[in-house]
Structure 1
Amino acid sequence: MNPHFIFNCLNSINNFILHDQNHQASKYLTKFSKLIRQILDNTDTPLQAIERIVTFMNLYVELEQMRFGKNRFDFEIKVDTRLDVHVTVFPTMMIQPHVENAIWHGLMHRTEQGKIILSFHRETSTLVSCTIEDNGVGRAKSKEISKQLSPSRKSKGTQNVLESIETFNRQYNTEGAKIIIDDLYDQTGEPSGTKVKIVLPDIAQFKLC
């Protein structure tokens, strides 16, 4: 979880209080505390069943929507019926950063309504996947804007992604984990978003602690 997200959440709570929006502050704080509790739980149990990931991601996105306005973007979760949401597991903290990137680097630069679709899918009998797709401004435009706003800041996104995959493969003695990032374009050739696909071996046989 990006530390900036924690700081921004605390600032949002403070902002609600300063503007006498006590009900909103209480609602936000309740969701925030639940999210932090799940993050702490995930520290010891990095592999979570899809049903728990869905709860976690809904909480996270609801907080972001409260900060920026629910009308700024929609969030949808799709689960392949061939997956058992109680058994099939994914590393939660390998998914959340990509949703965060979709919001901050894709959708926040849009003037129109944004959307993120989080999908869980069975690829083969031995592979499962999670896809994060947004209709944001695209990676090239996002990098251009980021350089203008923070020219001295260096993104570690790609490095962190590669490290997380390497760690997963090493930990579970496999080479099947990979991440595929595609730039999306509309019919006129203009950037229309980004799609991140995380492919993993079906490790449901690993015990959830």
Structure 2
Amino acid sequence: MGEDHYDEGQDMMDIDFSELNRDRRTANGRSRKKPSDPEKGKKLLVFYGTALCVAILIIVIILFSVDKSGKKTTTPIEAQVKALEQKVANLGRIKQDITPLQTRQETLEKSIAKLEGSLKSLRRDLHKINREFVLLKKRGVVRKRSASQTRHRYHMVQKGDSPYKIARRYGISMDDLYRLNNLTKKSLIYPGQKLVVGPVGKK
């Protein structure tokens, strides 16, 4: 029993020493904590200083983007927008100039359409006349005349002329003179009248 009592006492001493060692290590750990690092404070100061400088720089850029008159300077995008607006205005003026031309073009197109209709009508009439002429020619109504019959000599009646004088001058009979001009013996002639006196080439 004495040995058992000794063992229990030894265990209690071991427990007390282990707890004492643990408390000592905890106290040493707390005592070993470093105070606040001055380098970390410097880094924070540099960071905040840099941020402040950047903010000041942004403000300066914004202020310089406004000219002395208080108007914002033209950016490339605004310049492009103004150029587009100018082009649109120019297109509007061009459209106003084109409108009268379009009206004239429409008028000309209508006139051309009318002329084409008239030409078609004339072609139909000419075709009809040609067809009738061919039919008359086949029936023998239209006869081909020789060159000597179609070409005549003419005399312009002067003051004092008579059928007798004219016929004698050109070597034809009075009957031929009357026949060539569809006249009769009772017909009168007058100055300025044009009379057929025979075929061309006959003396």
TM-score, length basis structure 2 = 0.16
Q: Highest CA radius of gyration, 1 or 2?
A: 2
From the two aligned structures, give the one with the greater strand fraction.
1
**Structure with the higher helix share, 1 or 2:** 2
TM-score norm. by structure 1 comes to 0.16
